[in-house]
């Protein structure tokens, strides 16, 4: 009988550690619900610490911020000195193979944008610098919840 009274204690009667733990649990659940209803399945653009940009559909994320994207477009800039070519100012596709030390007439070394497509990519959370969601892809109802995420429980 005494045990039943103990179970019926209100949150105000619980020690501070217990209420803090319950608040943390509530915040985690809210973050999970938000991720599930709004972010999963959306087109996201990630910037990595090495300068690459990966754009794709978010299908998985874990507590360490590791992400899995599908239908990924990878964009990166190649430094001409790394790949031993110089880009002429007038034609971006003009490559000087004659002399590795030659510099274009204007003296400016240009970085070349390289794009490739990948079916899936796993991005370590430690490499993430920035994650952006495509605003045009997120169509919200009046209550602020993505329409496709309402029935996902």
pTM score > 0.85 for this model?
Answer: no
Q: pLDDT digit of tens for each residue in the chain (153 aa)?
A: 554 454 444 445 545 556 788 888 898 888 888 877 888 899 999 999 999 999 999 999 888 989 999 999 999 988 777 665 544 444 444 444 444 444 555 556 678 889 999 999 999 999 999 999 877 555 554 444 444 444 433
Instruction: Retrieve residue 8's tokens.
Output: 């019926």
Q: Please tell me the distance from the alpha carbon of residue 26 to that of residue 8, in angstroms, as a whole number.
A: 20
- Laid out side by side, the sheet with 53-61 consists of 112-123, 67-78, 53-61, 43-48, 128-133
Domain-by-domain residue ranges, the chain? 1-39, 41-135
The per-residue pLDDT for 97 is 45
Domain 41-135, CATH among 2.30.30.100, 3.40.50.970, 3.40.50.1860, 1.20.210.10: 2.30.30.100
């Amino acid at each position: 009988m005494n045990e039943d009274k103990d179970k019926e204690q209100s949150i105000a009667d619980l020690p501070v550690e217990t209420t803090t733990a319950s608040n943390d649990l509530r915040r985690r659940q809210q973050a999970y619900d938000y991720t599930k209803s709004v972010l999963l399945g959306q087109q996201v653009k990630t910037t990595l610490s090495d300068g690459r940009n990966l754009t794709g559909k978010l299908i998985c994320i874990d507590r360490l911020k590791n992400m899995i994207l599908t239908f990924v477009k990878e964009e990166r800039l190649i430094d001409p000195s790394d790949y031993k070519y110089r880009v002429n100012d007038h034609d971006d596709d003009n490559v000087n193979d004659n002399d590795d030390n030659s510099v274009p007439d204007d003296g400016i070394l240009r970085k070349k944008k390289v794009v490739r497509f990948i079916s899936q990519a796993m991005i370590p959370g430690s490499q993430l610098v920035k994650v952006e969601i495509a605003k045009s892809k997120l169509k919200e109802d009046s209550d602020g919840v993505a329409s496709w995420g309402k029935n996902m429980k």
